[in-house]
Amino acid sequence: MQAFIDGLSFPLRAVRFIASQPMLWRYIVIPIALNILVGFVLYATLLWAGVRAIEALLADWPELIAWFVWLLLIIVLFVGIGYLMVRFGVVIGSPFYSRLSELIEEQLRGVARTTSPASPASIAYDLFRALLFELKKLIFLLAFGIPALLLNVLPGVGTMLGTAAGIVIGVTISCLDFFDPPLERRRLSFRAKLGYIRHHLPASAGFGLICLGLVSVPFLNLLAVPVCITAGTLFFCERSPVYLDDGTMR
Per-residue pLDDT 10s for the chain (250 aa) are: 788 998 899 999 999 999 888 888 888 888 888 878 887 888 788 888 888 888 887 787 777 777 877 877 777 777 777 777 777 777 777 778 888 888 888 888 776 555 555 566 666 776 777 778 878 888 888 888 888 777 766 665 776 777 778 888 889 988 998 998 888 888 888 899 999 999 888 999 999 999 988 887 877 877 888 889 999 999 998 887 544 444 444 4
CA angle 32, 132, 230 (to 5 degrees): 35
Are 233 and 17 in contact, with CB atoms under 8 Å apart?
A: no
Within a domain: residue 215? yes
CA separation for the pair 104, 72 (Å, rounded): 40
**Residue 244 domain flag:** no
Please report whether residue 20 resides in a domain. yes
Please check whether residue 115 lies inside any domain of the structure: no
Q: Is residue 248 part of a domain?
A: no
Range of the domain at 171: 2-110+120-239
Q: Domain tally for the chain? A: 1
The pTM for the full model equals 0.75
Q: Is 249 within a domain?
A: no
- Which residues are CB-contacts of 47 (< 8 A; sequence separation ≥ 6)? 77, 78, 81
In a domain, 250, yes or no: no
